[in-house]
Chain A
C-alpha cells in the first residue's frame, strides 16, 4: 500500500496529465451512472407514489387507473374519513406511539448510561464479563423469548399494560445501547473524570455531569435507533398490549386494514396516514438518521 501512496507523491505521470478534460468515455460513464440511478430511484419511489396519489381518489378511479394523476378528480374526503374513522383512531395512535417512543428514549438512556460508564471505566474482569453478558442479547431474536416474556408479565401483572411493553422494549434495547455507549466512553480520556474525582465529584456526578454531556453524539444515535425501532415495532405491542389494548400506529393499521382490505378508499388513506410521520421524520432528519445508523453499525 505504501508503494502506491509513494507513486501518488511522485510528479504526475504524463498519461494522467493528458486526461485533464473529461474524455468521451468518462462522460458516457457519467451519463450511464445517472441513468442507472435515476431508473432505480423511480422504481423505488413508485410504491410511495401509488399510496399518495390513491389516497385522494375514488374506488373506481383507483381500480381503473391506479397510476393515474387527474387533478380534477382528487378529493380530500377519503383522507378526512380515515382521520375520523372510529375504528382506527389515527391521531390517538400517533399520540400513544409518540409517548411510547419518548418513554423508551428516556429510560433507555437513563438505565444504560451508568452501567456503560462503570463498564467503560473499570478494569475489573467482572465488569468486562458484564459487557459480554449484555452483548448476548444482540443474538436473541425477540420472537425467541416472547412466549416466556408474556408469562413473566402475566405473573407480575404487567401484561396488557403500557409499562409491561415499555419494560420489555427497554430491556431489548440494552445490548446495542450499552455496547455503543461503552465504546464511546472509552474514547473519552480517563483524566477528565479523574480530574472531577479529585475535585470531589462522586460516581453519580461524574457519570451524569461530566461524562454524559460528552457522549451526546452517541446518545443522539441511540435515541434515533430506539425511536425508529419503537415507532415501527409491531409484534411486541400486538402481543403484550393485546388485540383489544391501546393501539400504536402499527397495531392500529393492522386492525384497520384487516377490516377494510378490499376498500381501497380506506386502505390508501390509512396507509398514507401511517407512513406520514416516518416520512416527515425522514425528510427533516435524513442526515442524522443516516449518520446514526452508520455510527450504530460500524461501531459494532
Chain B
C-alpha cells in the first residue's frame, strides 16, 4: 500500500523535494491518492456539488426526455404515454418549424460572421498603443450587458419612432419596419446578436494571436512571405485551437438564444422571429404544453450535441499543424 513510484519523487522539482525532506524528515512515499483517502471526508467533499448537480440538472434532463414521450395534465402529472406524438405535433406546428428555421439561420449566420469578422478585427487590433486599447474596449463592452437589456436598447433604437427611423425620415427615406416584417425581424436579431457578443470572440482571437511568437512572423517576412502567406501558413495554423473553441462556444450559445428574442422582437410579428429556446419556454410555461416543450428541449439538446460533435470532427480532420 505504500505506492510504488519512486518516479514521482525523482521527477519532482529539486526545490519541492527539498521542501518535502525538510518538512517530512523522510523521503515521501509518493502515492496516487484516492485509494487511501478516507471514505467519509471524501463523501462530504463530493456530496454537495454532486447532489445539487444531479437533482437540478441530470434528473431534470432525464425527466425532460421522459416527458417528451408523454402527455401531462396542467398540474404537471404524466397522464399517458404517447410515443412520438409530441415530436410529430412539434414538427407540424408552423410556429415551431419557423422557430427551428430562425434558430438555424441565426446560429449559422452569426457564427460565420462573428468568427470571420473577429479574426480580421483581432488582426487589426494586435498592435501596441493606447488607441488600440480604446478600440478594443469599444468593441468589447456590449458583452458585459445582458442580452435582455441589449435587446431593449436596440428596440428603442429600431422602433418605428426610434432613432434610426427618425433619421431615415428626416433624409426623406421610407422608415424600415425592423420588427413588423418577419424576415427583417430576424435580421434585427442577427445584427443585435453580433453587436452584443462579437467582443468575446475578438478578445479570444486577440489572445490567440498574442501567443504566436513574433519571431516566426518576422522570419516568414524575411523569407519573403506575402502578408496573405504569413496569415495562411503561420497565423492560421497556430490559431487553429482558438478557432475550434470559439466556433463551439459561439454556436452553442447561439442555439439557446432566448433573452434577446424576448426583449427585441417578442418573437413577433406573429411568432415569425421566435427561436426554439423561446418556443420551449412559451410551450412549457404559457401554453402548458409540457410534453411538446420537452420534445422541443430534446431537439435543442440533440442539436447542441451534434453541432459540438461536427465542429470538433471537422476541425480535427482539417487541422494542418
Interface residues of A (CB under 8 A from B): 1, 4-5, 7-8, 12-13, 15-16, 33-34, 36-38, 40-42, 44-45, 47-48, 50-51, 63-67, 110-112, 114-115, 117-118, 121-124, 127, 130, 133-134, 136-137, 139-152, 154, 167-168, 170-172, 174-175, 178, 189-192, 194-195, 198-199, 202-204, 207, 228, 231-235, 239, 249-250, 253-254, 257, 264, 267-268, 271, 274-275, 278-279, 281-282, 286, 289-290, 293-294, 297-298, 300
Contacts and interface: CB of A to CB of B under 8 A. Distances in A.
Interface of B: 8-9, 12-13, 16-17, 19-20, 23-24, 26, 28, 30, 32-35, 37-38, 41-42, 44-46, 48-50, 52-53, 55-61, 63-64, 67, 76, 121, 124-125, 127, 131-132, 134-135, 137-142, 144-149, 152-154, 156-157, 161-163, 166-167, 195, 200, 203-204, 207-208, 215-216, 218-224, 234, 241-242, 245-246, 249, 252, 255-256, 258-259, 262-263, 277, 280-281, 284-285, 290, 293-294, 297-298, 300-301, 304-305, 308
B53 A50 contact: no
B141 A48 contact: yes
A149 B63 CA distance: 9
29 contacts: A1-B216, A8-B216, A37-B131, A48-B153, A63-B166, A66-B166, A111-B48, A112-B49, A121-B33, A130-B46, A137-B58, A139-B308, A140-B57, A141-B297, A143-B277, A147-B293, A149-B60, A152-B55, A171-B53, A172-B56, A191-B30, A232-B149, A234-B258, A235-B281, A250-B146, A274-B152, A279-B141, A293-B204, A294-B207
A127 B34 contact: yes
Nearest to B233: A4
A294 B206 CA distance: 9
Contacts of B49: 111-112, 114-115, 134, 174, 178
B28 A195 contact: yes
Given A40-B121, A41-B138, A66-B166, A254 B262 contact: yes
A281 to B, nearest CB: 7
Nearest to A138: B252
A38 B129 CA distance: 14
A253 B145 CA distance: 13
B56 A149 contact: yes
* Residue of B20, B149, B154 with most chain A CB atoms under a 10 A cut-off: B149
A5 B264 CA distance: 51
6 closest Cβ pairs, A-B complex: A232-B146, A114-B45, A122-B34, A66-B163, A8-B219, A41-B138
B281 A141 contact: no
